[in-house]
Amino acid sequence: MRRAAVLGAKRATAAASLLRARLRGTAGHAMATIPPPQELLRPLAVPQRLLLGPGPSNVPPRILAAGGRQLLGHMHPEMLQVMDEIKAGIQYAFQTRNRLTLAVSGTGHCAMEAALLNLLERGDTVLVAVNGIWGQRAADIAGRLGAEVRELLKPPGEYFTLRDIQEGLARHKPSVLFITHGESSTGVLQPLQGLGELCHRHGSLLLVDAVASLGGAPILMDQQEIDVLYSGSQKVLSAPPGSAPISFSERAREKMLRRKTKPPSFYLDMGWLANYWGCDDKPRMYHHTAPINSFFSLREGLAMLAELGLESSWERHRANCTLLCQGLRELGLELFVKEEAARLPTITTVRVPEGYAWQEITAFLMNEHGLEIAGGLGPSVGKVLRIGLMGYNSTKDNVDRVLGALRDALQRCRRSRL
Ligand code: PMP
């Protein structure tokens, strides 16, 4: 393999110098002066790793195989059929009958921007529930769109009660409330029951980020009256990052139809995307070239969830998270989220043990065990370690592996003399 790569590199270099010699002195001929990068003439290196951080998670062979299939054209009827299947899969995963349901060609942030920039116009008031990085990011994006951003704050590790939200809605009278269901920077699961109805009583739409929670904890878009819901492909769906499910209720669609100005992004304009995804009555038109292989993978991720069943998936994540939490406590570690019911079943946060540097623990796990867990993010940096058990990776075996690796780290990592 390596010999072949070296031979390939030599051949490419020889071909380049032959070409240069031929062109030398030939006026008017373009000549590349920067040689082919040597690193690209070596084979791609991808080490084996168990991804037990907050995402991405490992991709099962079936989904990898789907992503490796030959391309179809992005407007071929068979491709449009795959997109229809994805749409049905998202409707199932979200528990919605919304017609305006599709996957944007990008990661979770892309869906977050798509939701905000289609819903909000300059001057609209948006209330953002901030108890971690995702609220901070949503507030940043909404501010860039010229919206009047109001923030409802809670310390990292806590969730919002209906009373908190009610007070915020009454005070700020927003047209949209943004909240994160699975706060992956802190490990908090936000209760959603009653929120939609409350928002609607106050003339507000409810926008929910479920990137880290979809398939791992119950979320019932229609029953919970959620107006816009989005997720990602690389967490419980166990597909590679690059496509993000999103859905809009009739109320949200009506608000978008009432816009006085076009959405500020062509790529993420829901009018165009709705048409490409067959969510309107017009013939489907080219908008952008779909990331075909990402869609194949997403289709398989959704198919695996449909085969397992949502309830079984929720239960599996809950059971493995409970096992993990027990094991962490037995190691003498302290869980960051106090209330059991408020713990996100997909991502568990544990306080950085006293006297240890979190970077040393994560590096030790990576180097000695080929296993990824993460430190904190945004407001939780330096405070927590984050362990993800999502989709294909949510197994008892992985609980045992990460607990064993952590036990080893606690014994072998250097304790500071603080
Ligand atoms: N929201 C939440 C809750 C997330 O966990 C993430 C990813 N960690 C995102 C949004 C952003 O997704 P992405 O990294 O795929 O853009």
The rounded distance, in Å, linking the Cα atoms of 330 and 325 is 9
Contact, 7 vs 43, CB < 8 A? Answer: no
pLDDT, residue 91, reads 98
pLDDT, residue 415, reads 75
Q: What is the pLDDT of residues 335-388, one digit of tens each?
A: 999 999 999 999 999 999 999 999 999 999 999 999 999 999 999 999 999 999
For the segment 32-56, the average pLDDT, to the nearest whole number, is 97
Torsion of CA 316, 322, 324, 329, to 10 degrees: 180
pLDDT, residue 240, reads 98
pLDDT, residue 22, reads 60
Could you tell me the pLDDT band of residue 174, with boundaries at 50, 70 and 90? very high
Tell me, in angstroms, the distance from the centre of ligand 1 to residue 229's CA: 13
Which burial class, exposed, middle or buried, applies to 340 when counting CB atoms under 10 A from its CB (0-12, 13-18, 19+)? exposed
Atom 11 of ligand 1, nearest CA residue: 108
Contact, 246 vs 105, CB < 8 A? Answer: no
Is 5's pLDDT higher than 60? no
pLDDT above 70 covers a percentage of the chain that reads 93
DSSP assignment string, 43-92: PP-----EE-SSSPPPPPHHHHHHHTSPP--TTSHHHHHHHHHHHHHHHH
- Cis peptide bond upstream of 241, omega within 30: no
- Under 8 Å CB-to-CB from 186, ≥6 apart: which residues? 131, 132, 156, 157, 336, 337, 349, 379, 380, 384
The H or E element containing residue 230 is strand 228-230
What six digits make up the tokens of 125?
């008031």
pLDDT, residue 1, reads 46
Could you tell me the pLDDT band of residue 324, with boundaries at 50, 70 and 90? very high
pLDDT, residue 24, reads 58
Task: Tell me the pLDDT of the chain averaged across its residues.
Answer: 95
For the segment 24-36, the average pLDDT, to the nearest whole number, is 81
Determine the residue of 159, 179, 184, 387 to mutate for testing ligand 1's pocket, defined as the one with the most ligand atoms within 8 A of the Cβ atom: 184
- Please give the backbone phi and psi of residue 74, each rounded to the nearest 5 degrees, phi first: -70, -10
pLDDT, residue 29, reads 84
What six digits make up the tokens of 109?
């942030």
pLDDT, residue 355, reads 93
Could you tell me the pLDDT band of residue 219, with boundaries at 50, 70 and 90? very high
The rounded distance, in Å, linking the Cα atoms of 371 and 360 is 13
pLDDT above 90 covers a percentage of the chain that reads 92
Is 164's pLDDT higher than 90? yes
Could you identify the atom of ligand 1 that is nearest to the CA of residue 134?
Answer: 1
For the segment 300-320, the average pLDDT, to the nearest whole number, is 98
- Under 8 Å CB-to-CB from 234, ≥6 apart: which residues? 55, 56, 57, 107, 240, 241, 242
What six digits make up the tokens of 232?
């990602």
Q: What is the pLDDT of residues 385-414, one digit of tens each?
A: 999 999 999 999 999 999 999 999 999 998
Is 417's pLDDT higher than 80? no
Atom 1 of ligand 1, nearest CA residue: 211
pLDDT, residue 17, reads 62
Could you tell me the pLDDT band of residue 248, with boundaries at 50, 70 and 90? very high
The total number of residues shown for the chain amounts to 418
| Number of other CB atoms surrounding residue 375 within 10 Å | 18
Contact, 292 vs 71, CB < 8 A? Answer: yes
pLDDT, residue 18, reads 59
Question: What is the model's pTM?
Answer: 0.93
Tell me, in angstroms, the distance from the centre of ligand 1 to residue 108's CA: 5
Is 321's pLDDT higher than 80? yes
Lowest-confidence region among 24-28, 55-59, 329-333: 24-28
Q: Which residues line ligand 1 (CB under 6 A)?
A: 54-55, 107-109, 112, 134, 180, 182, 184, 209, 211-212, 232, 241
Angle (CA) 226 228 232, round 5° = 115
Is 268's pLDDT higher than 60? yes
Determine the residue of 140, 207, 211 to mutate for testing ligand 1's pocket, defined as the one with the most ligand atoms within 8 A of the Cβ atom: 211
For the segment 133-150, the average pLDDT, to the nearest whole number, is 98
What six digits make up the tokens of 145?
């769109």
Is 23's pLDDT higher than 60? no
